[in-house]
Amino acid sequence: MTHHTDTQKDSLIKEAGVMDSLQQTDSTEEAWIEVIHKMDSVYADLVHSQVELEVKNKALEEAQLFINSVLSAMTDTLIVCDTEGVVLQVNSALEKLTGKTKEDYLQHSLNEVFSEDSQAMLDFFPEKMRHESLIDCEVNVHCSDGTTTPLSMNCSSRFDASGILTGMVLIGRPLGELRHAYKKLNFAHNELQRTQQQLIHSEKMASLGRLIAGVAHELNNPISFIFGNMHALERYGSRINQYLNAVDAQIDPPELKKLHKELKIGRIQDDMDSLIEGSLEGAERVNNIIQDLRNYSGGQKEEYSFFELNTVIKKAVNWALKTDKIKPEIQYKLTDEIKINSCKGQIHQVLVNLIQNARDAMETVTHPKLILSTSVSDETVSIHVIDQGIGISEQDAKTIFDPFFTSKPVGQGTGLGLYISYGLAHDLNGDLIFKNNPQGGAEFTLSIPVGSKR
C-alpha cells in the first residue's frame, strides 16, 4: 500500500490552493479540505486493517505450524475424511507405517486405504459415523510394497462449528508391536508354567527322597534281625541235620549223646521258638511299614476310619525327624487317648510337614525344643506344633500358605508344604492356622472334627 507523506499532502494542499486562487471561491476550498480529511481517515483505516491482517496472518501461520507439529509427533496414525469418505488429511505416522506419501492419500477414497478384508467393516462406517463411534476394530491398511499391516482403529465423527456432520477422524494404533509384545508375554507365561511344573515335580521328588530315606531306616531294623535269625537258623539246621543223620545211622547211644552235646542241640531247641517268633515279628513290622506307606503316599482317596490320634502324632514326629542327626528335644503334652474318625494318612502328612518346618525354623537355635500338644473342644480336636524358632514376620504371614512361597535357599525349600497341608486340612473339614508365641517361635494348629464324615 502506498502512503502519502506530509510533504505529499502539503503539495496536494498547495495544488488545491492553486485551484483555489484560480477559482477564488471559499466554498470550493472547504470542499477540498473535507476531501483531504476524508482521504486522511481512509488512509488511517487502511493502515490499521493492514496491521490487523498481518497479526492474524501470523497467528494463522503459528496455528498451522502447531497443528503440523502435533500431527507429525503423533505415533498413532491419523486419517481425516469427509462424509463421502474422501481423505482430507493424514499424518506422518501413517506415511511411515505404509511407506506411502500424503499425495497417495489426499482426495482418494477410504476404500483405497484399507485392504479387501477390512472393506466390510468400512461399509458400516457411514452408518456408524452418524450414530456412534467405532472403538478398537481391527483393520488392515495397504502398504507401498503391496503388503498390508494391521491397525487397531478408533473412529469418531467430526462436526463443524455449527454442529453439522462433516466427516470422520480415524485414529489407528499399529498392531504389529502389540502382537509382538503379546507373543513375548505368552512365551514368558508358558515358561513360568513349565518352571512351576518342574518345581512341583522337584517337591514331589524331594518328599519321595525323604520318604525313601525314612522307609530305608525303618525297614533296616526288622530286616537285619530277620537276617540274623535266618543265619542262625541256617547254622542250627545243618547241626540238626548232622544229628538226625547220626540218629538214622543208629550209632551207639553214648556216641549220640556226645554228639548231642557237641552240636548243642539242647540250646538249639531252647532258641528255636524265640528265633521264629522274632522273625515273624520282624516280618510283621515290615508289613506294618508298608501299610503306613500306602496311607502316606495316598494315591487314591483315603477312606475314613477310626484311629487313635496320639499314636499318629508320635509316628509323624518319628518320620519327620528320622533322618536328622541332631534331633530337637521333644515334649508331648497330649490329652488321654483319643479316637477320631478321619483320614490317618492325611493327618500324618500335614503333621510331618509342620514338624519339618518347625525343625528348619530352629536350625540356629542352640537347644531346639519342639512341643506337641492336643486340645479337644466341641467335637473338634486341635493339634499344636510349637517351636522356638525365628517365628513368622508380619510380611511373610500374608504369603506362607501361597504355593511356592519359601524363605529357604533354592534346593531346600519349594514352598509347597504349607500350601498342600492347608488343602489337606480343609479336605478333612478342618483348618490350619498359625500364630507367633509371645516367648518366641511359631505355633501351627491343625484342627479336625473328631467324627467328621465325608
Could you tell me the three cell numbers for 431? Answer: 483348618
The residue type at 106: L
Pairing of strands 165-174, 134-142: unpaired
| Residue range at the interface with ligand ADP (CB under 6 A); choices 78-86, 147-155, 308-316, 409-417 | 409-417
Compute the least distance from the CB of residue 412 to ligand ADP, in Å: 7
Q: How far is the CA of 36 from the CAs of 5, 27, 29, 45, 125, in angstroms?
A: 13, 14, 11, 14, 63
- Of 387, 424, 432, 446, the one binding ligand ADP (CB under 6 A) is 387
| Residue 406 interacts with ligand ADP (CB under 6 A): yes or no | yes
- CA torsion angle 99 105 111 115 (round to 10): 0
Here's the x/- map for Mg ion, 409-438, by CB under 5 A: it reads as --------x---------------------
Length of the chain as a residue count? 454
Residue number with CB closer to Mg ion (98 or 357) = 357
Compute the least distance from the CB of residue 309 to ligand ADP, in Å: 21
| Residue range at the interface with ligand ADP (CB under 6 A); choices 145-153, 248-256, 323-331, 382-390 | 382-390
- What one-character-per-residue DSSP string does 201-258 give? HHHHHHHHHHHHHHHHHHHHHHHHHHHHHHHHHHHHHHHHHHHHHHHHTT--HHHHHH
Here's the x/- map for Mg ion, 37-76, by CB under 5 A: it reads as ----------------------------------------
- List strand residue ranges (DSSP E) for 10-160, in order: 77-82, 87-90, 134-142, 148-159
| C-beta separation of 339 from 413 below 8 A | no
Residue number with CB closer to Mg ion (250 or 395) = 395
| Residue 403 interacts with Mg ion (CB under 5 A): yes or no | no
- Of 357, 374, 445, 447, the one binding Mg ion (CB under 5 A) is 357
- Per partner kind, with CB cut-offs from 5 to 8 A, the member of ligand ADP, Mg ion, none near residue 361 is ligand ADP
**If you search the block for the grid coordinates 528348619, which residue do you land on?**
360
- Of 110, 168, 358, 425, the one binding ligand ADP (CB under 6 A) is 358
Distance CA 318, CA 310 (A): 13
- Number of residues lying near Mg ion (CB under 5 A): 2
- Name the residues that contact ligand ADP, by CB under 6 A: 353, 357-358, 361, 387, 389-392, 396, 400, 405-408, 413-419, 442
- Name the residues that contact Mg ion, by CB under 5 A: 357, 417
